[in-house]
A and B are shown apart, each in its own frame.
Chain A
Amino acid sequence: QSALTQPRSVSGSLGQSVTISCTGTSSDVGGYNYVSWYQQQPGKAPELMIYDVSKWPSGVPDRFSGSKSGNTASLTISGLQAEDEADYYCCSQAVGYVVFGGGTKLTVL
């Protein structure tokens, strides 16, 4: 039941793309197509950005995209905008429970 592994921080320039990785095991990320990604602005509740590895909730721009290969899931944000600066968390179904990643702080330069 260890947390999924994410880089503590990533950065990118306005208009560029960044990718955030989320590494788990065959008992969580690798074993289910139930990976979701959340954006959290300071002092706010998390917001769902991607679910079921690569699906978009209504209202989320398609600049955000998700993928998975083996035990690692990824969130890619293209065309970076200033408002994308936030903390990002991955989340996966595991065997009988749910596990989050440790979170990644995205800085937009």
Chain B
Amino acid sequence: KAGVTQTPRYLIKTRGQQVTLSCSPISGHRSVSWYQQTPGQGLQFLFEYFSETQRNKGNFPGRFSGRQFSNSRSEMNVSTLELGDSALYLCASSLDRGLDGYTFGSGTRLTVV
């Protein structure tokens, strides 16, 4: 079966711009989570969506937002980009709550210049 697909794979943006990243979960998976990975902070949880509702949220500023569509596909948006937002953004999906483990995508590498 197809895995978790994240697009684009790489992205370069300028400070102050906004960006939208996309994640298509495994077919049938209704839970989608987003993580940010940087060398300094490691993997940090951003938020989780289930059936189009945000179910859990990490400690990130309001510039980071997301949504989930009826087909479980999810997008995350970062507005007013800062240099520190440069990171690998990972999406993970599961049937529900990751109890049987999350499947991660390969990520989108965002560089802010």
The answer to whether A binds B is: no
B interface residues with partner A (beta carbon < 8 Å): none
